[in-house]
């Protein structure tokens, strides 16, 4: 941090400034004040710096603070750097948004033959940003086609997940989620600076070449902004997502001696570490164990590292010596113990991009699962947004975890607490999306009627009424060991 003090100083500002200096935060001002030197605090020793020229003052501040901004060469009209990755674009500052709960959208990367695509070709099919009203939501399909001698379909999810990072690097652009659950905002300032939809293509072409040049030779990007195209292409993308998920079927945590870390979200949640195992994917839903392994193959020094499980400390809760040692280090000593299968005892931390929140409903001796898209009330008395802010940020919050949707269907889903049988409530939409797979899992655990016993918002969003309903239908959670 640094302070820019412009155009005047009164008693309050002087006192605040004194506090800033004491905290080691330099002040850069256009006022004619005596320069103050506090040894050992700021990059250039002086901590109150004069710079009367407003054109130079920000650069001066960056230097005084010792901030290194590395700009990649990306041909877009807004600044582009990793420094902007954690930036949010709030609703009042948004010119246009895509996806989220507001419009259909997806992002999908696929491998093509070399002669099938043209390197650097960027097309926008449908309206450009100039035809989009301030405050509006539009559909968006981002299709990236890549080719390369070393490119294999195994790498597709890894490259695809970089879209999140790269688009966030642009100042005034916000990206969240992945696959067909992404959400993008372009700020009014970015629009004013001349940012167009096609610039997403410029970013993706430049960065994929820059960071994955060893794998991809050609990159072509097509941006679809008309609803009819996005809806036409969604099934193909969804089919690819489903077949990626299916590759893991049958793999177990016991069968491997190595899990993988993911620390890609440390730009938002600096101490957060996802531990990805064959039976528990990353909480954003984008990284399976196979994906993390492929990412490590591509970039051995990147955000996905192999973690040897080491000695088993608790097979039921999922505690391994090697995992804890890794997490302690990667969380900068914030978290020294995690369980992979428990929600109550030292659960895994969450960043902010979980697909669902699993939260304890103490009255019902069970848990509810709430997906990001659900905006209504829940039996815990909190909506998703409130739940998300208490779960996220890289903290350990017993009773609450962020998870990827597919983890709900895993045999290891909160298995320390009895697994799927604990689920007493979830929004109708999520229940229906899991549909037959949820029914199959219920049958597998000897609870064929569980699907109908799990309440949703059409039954109730009130904890007391929920307990009555669970008793009426004979939900197994009521007769399980106490959760708390």
3-state secondary structure of 36: strand
For residue 116, give both structure tokens: 């099938």
283 touching ligand SF4, by CB under 6 A: yes
99/105 Cα distance (integer angstroms): 5
354/284 Cα distance (integer angstroms): 4
Quick note: the x/- pattern for ligand SF4 over 350-369, rule CB under 6 A, is -x-x----------------
- What are the beta bridge partners of residue 108? 143
274/353 Cα distance (integer angstroms): 11
Which one, 158 or 353, has the nearer CB to Zn ion?
Answer: 353
Q: How far is the CB of 167 from Zn ion (least distance, A)?
A: 14
Q: Which of residues 210-269 bind ligand SF4 (CB under 6 A)?
A: 262-265
Spell out a b/e string for 302-314, using b for 16 or more CB atoms within 10 Å of the CB, else e: ebbbebebeeeee
Contact 340, 281 (CB under 8 A): no
418/325 Cα distance (integer angstroms): 27
Q: How far is the CB of 378 from ligand SF4 (least distance, A)?
A: 22
Quick one: which of 28, 76, 223, 274 contacts ligand SF4 (CB under 6 A)? 274
DSSP per position, 209-238? HHHHTTT-SEEEEEEE-SHHHHHHHHHHHH
Q: How far is the CB of 82 from Zn ion (least distance, A)?
A: 16
Question: How many residues belong to the site for Zn ion (CB under 5 A)?
Answer: 3
Quick one: which of 99, 282, 366, 418 contacts ligand SF4 (CB under 6 A)? 282
Residues in Cβ contact with 229 at an 8 Å cutoff, skipping those fewer than 6 apart: 125, 126, 139, 141
User: Which of Zn ion, ligand SF4, none does residue 262 bind (CB under 5 to 8 Å by kind)?
Assistant: ligand SF4
Q: Which stretch binds Zn ion (CB under 5 A): 3-11, 122-130, 201-209, 257-265?
A: 257-265
Q: How far is the CB of 267 from Zn ion (least distance, A)?
A: 9
Quick one: which of 216, 351, 391, 483 contacts Zn ion (CB under 5 A)? 351
Which one, 265 or 406, has the nearer CB to ligand SF4?
Answer: 265
Which one, 50 or 328, has the nearer CB to ligand SF4?
Answer: 328
User: Which of ligand SF4, Zn ion, none does residue 370 bind (CB under 5 to 8 Å by kind)?
Assistant: none
Q: Which of residues 310-339 bind ligand SF4 (CB under 6 A)?
A: none
Q: How far is the CB of 262 from ligand SF4 (least distance, A)?
A: 3
Q: Which long-range contacts (CB under 8 A, 24 or more apart) does 321-325 make?
A: 323/259, 323/275
Q: Which of residues 146-205 bind Zn ion (CB under 5 A)?
A: none
Which one, 394 or 418, has the nearer CB to Zn ion?
Answer: 394
Give how far Cα 243 sits from Cα of 157, 239, 437, Å: 11, 6, 14
Classify residue 130 by its DSSP letter: G
190 touching ligand SF4, by CB under 6 A: no
353 touching Zn ion, by CB under 5 A: yes
Residues in contact with ligand SF4 by the rule CB under 6 A:
262-265, 274, 282-284, 286-287, 351, 353
User: By the criterion CB under 5 A, which residues form the site for Zn ion?
Assistant: 265, 351, 353
């Amino acid at each position: 941090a640094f302070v820019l003090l412009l155009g005047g100083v009164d008693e309050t500002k002087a006192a605040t400034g004194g506090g800033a200096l004491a905290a080691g935060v330099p002040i850069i001002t256009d006022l004619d004040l005596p320069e103050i030197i506090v040894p050992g605090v700021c990059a250039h020793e002086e901590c109150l710096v004069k710079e009367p020229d407003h054109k130079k003052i920000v650069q001066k501040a960056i230097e005084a603070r010792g901030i290194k901004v590395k700009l990649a060469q990306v041909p877009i009209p807004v600044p582009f750097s990793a420094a902007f990755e954690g930036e949010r674009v709030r609703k009042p500052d948004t010119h246009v948004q895509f996806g989220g709960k507001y419009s259909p959208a997806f992002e999908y990367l696929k491998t093509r033959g070399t002669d099938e695509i043209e390197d650097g070709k960027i097309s926008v099919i449908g309206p450009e940003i100039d035809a989009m009203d301030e405050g509006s939501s539009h559909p968006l399909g981002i299709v990236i086609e890549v080719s390369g001698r070393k490119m294999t379909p195994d790498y597709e999810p890894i490259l695809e997940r970089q879209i999140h990072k790269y688009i966030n690097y642009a100042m005034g652009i916000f990206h969240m989620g992945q696959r067909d659950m992404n959400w993008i905002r372009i700020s009014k300032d970015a629009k004013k600076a001349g940012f167009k939809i096609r610039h997403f293509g410029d970013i993706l072409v430049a960065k994929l070449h820059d960071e994955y040049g060893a794998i991809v030779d050609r990159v072509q990007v097509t941006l679809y902004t008309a609803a009819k195209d996005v809806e036409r292409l969604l099934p193909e993308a969804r089919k690819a997502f489903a077949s990626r998920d299916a590759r893991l079927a049958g793999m177990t945590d016991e069968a491997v001696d190595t899990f993988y870390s993911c620390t890609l979200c440390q730009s938002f949640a600096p101490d957060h570490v996802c531990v990805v195992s064959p039976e528990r994917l990353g909480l954003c839903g984008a990284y399976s164990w196979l994906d993390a392994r492929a990412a490590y193959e591509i970039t051995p020094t990147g955000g996905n590292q192999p973690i040897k499980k080491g000695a088993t400390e608790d097979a039921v809760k999922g505690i391994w010596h090697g995992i804890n040692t890794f997490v302690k280090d990667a969380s900068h000593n914030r978290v020294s113990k995690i369980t992979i299968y428990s929600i109550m005892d030292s659960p895994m931390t969450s960043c902010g991009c979980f697909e669902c929140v699993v939260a304890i409903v103490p009255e019902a001796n069970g848990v509810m699962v709430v997906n990001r898209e659900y905006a209504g009330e829940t039996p815990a008395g909190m909506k998703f947004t409130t739940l998300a802010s208490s779960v996220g940020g890289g903290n350990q919050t017993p009773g609450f975890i962020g998870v990827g949707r597919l983890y709900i269907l895993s045999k290891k889903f909160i298995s320390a607490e009895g697994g799927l049988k604990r689920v007493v409530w979830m929004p109708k939409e999520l229940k229906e999306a899991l549909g037959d797979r949820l029914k199959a899992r219920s049958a597998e655990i000897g609870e064929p009627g569980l699907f109908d016993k799990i309440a949703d918002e059409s039954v109730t969003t009130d904890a007391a009424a929920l307990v009555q309903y669970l008793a009426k239908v004979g939900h197994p959670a009521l007769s399980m060991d106490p959760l708390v």
